[in-house]
Amino acid sequence: MVGRQTHKRAYRFRFYPTPEQEQLLRRTVGCCRKVYNLALEARSTAWTVEHRNVTYVQTSAMLTRWKKTAEYSYMNEVSCVPLQQALRHLQAAFSNFFKQTGDYPKFKAKSHGGSAEYTRSAFKWDAEHNELTLAKMREPLPVRWSRTLPRKTEPSTVTVSLDAAGRWHVSILVEEAIQTLPTRKHAIGIDLGVDSYAVTSDGEIIANPRHYEKLAERLAREQQALSRKTKGSNNRRKAALKVARTYARITDMRRDFLHKLSTRMIRESQTVILEDLNVKDMAKRCAPKPDPHDPNHWLPNGQSRKTGLNRSIMDAGWAQFRRMLEYKAEWYGRQLITIDKYYPSTQICSHCGAKTGPKGMPGLKVRAWTCPDCGTSHDRDLNAARNILAAGLAVSVCKDGRTGTKVSH
């Protein structure tokens, strides 16, 4: 049934600030980074030395004291709202760490860019003329409005970000009534891999675009040029910016591919089923070993065997693809099912159900095999996709929580 549901949705745009705006924004982003790092150091030290927990309220009081000192008096030159939001983000990072849904918070580096979040009291929004003016600014941001924002909506937060390539973006969070898609009877299982990016239970093979490999040679040249530059020089900063822009290009290509693929999967199927892959563990297992004298570890061209596979796993962006499927399924009234990561999808014959043993890691060893029980010939990935589909449909019907399966509506 087609209807409308209200969801929070962020619209991201590129903008080109004036020199005066860029100076203020760089100062704001730098202050947010400094506040985050100071609070993280204070909380870590308090726990390590005194076994004392520091709360968000206490770090907020610390911020007030820091701004009164001569060393950090420059923090008074920017809006206080982004600084408070930086402390809230640190609190959220610690909460995720204690819930075991995230890693321990890390210090923010200047070379990675940065961001500043403004709540409703720290910006002005003119819906009639599409003008966004941040606190401490006289003129609206020169935003390139590549998409139309929903009518009669007021942004709740605005996040300004600077990436390592020197590009400015603004993300505007609004509440939008999104129309759900018409219900379909089609369900699909997806087996993610490295050789092919994905194979579906319908037999479709989605080629792996290998975005990193397309720009690997240019990136290698730029990194070599960077290594020859003197540390701290302007030429080194220029070379580092070239490297960052190439990485940004790879990221943009990957994001574009994943958005198009995830949108198509959600539009064509009512139920999408994936394996709950442990990407971090797979990448670690494929990382190069430290022994440089192992002759089986190196390819003829001098490249590490596992480095190539590890790089391909990280370049694929499986976790990002899953996140896109999750929120798009929620938006458009679809169902996303993730089956347990220990489910032996490659070991089971999809025709007779016989378990035939391990077939090696994705991209290695057996690519096609014949079931010894029923004699059916299988392509490894297609067979896995069909098993994923069957397991996901069984869980959605039986509601069996013992497998650790997650179902998103």
CB 101, CB 107: distance < 8 Å: no
Decide the pairing of beta strands 187-192 and 196-200. antiparallel
Exposure string of 120-145, with b = 16+ CB inside 10 Å and e = fewer, is: eebbebeeeeeebebbebeebbebee
**For this structure, is 191 an active site residue?**
yes
**For this structure, is 340 an active site residue?**
no
**For this structure, is 381 an active site residue?**
yes
- The first and second tokens of residue 109, run together, are 């580096």
From 103, 191, 252, 379, active-site residue:
191
Question: HEC states along the chain?
Answer: CCCEEEEEEEEEEEECCCHHHHHHHHHHHHHHHHHHHHHHHHHHHHHHHHCCCCCHHHHHHHHHHHHHCCCCHHHHHCCHHHHHHHHHHHHHHHHHHHCCCCCCCCCCCHHHCEEEEEEHHHEEEECCCCEEEECCCCCCCCECCCCCCCCCCCCCEEEEEECCCCCEEEEEEEEEEEECCCCCCCEEEEEECCCEEEEECCCCEEECCCHHHHCHHHHHHHHHHHHHCCCCCHHHHHHHHHHHHHHHHHHHHHHHHHHHHHHHHHHHCCEEEEECCCHHHHHHHCCCCCCCCCHHHECCCCCEHHHHHHHHHHHHCHHHHHHHHHHHHHHHCCEEEEECCCCCCCCECCCCCCECCCCCCCCCCCCEEECCCCCCEEEHHHHHHHHHHHHHHHHHHHCCHHHCCEEEC
From 176, 275, 330, 340, active-site residue:
275
Report the distance separating Cα 345 and Cα 269, nearest Å.
21
| Residue 64 buriedness (CB in 10 A; 0-12 / 13-18 / 19+) | exposed
Active-site amino acid positions: 191, 275, 381
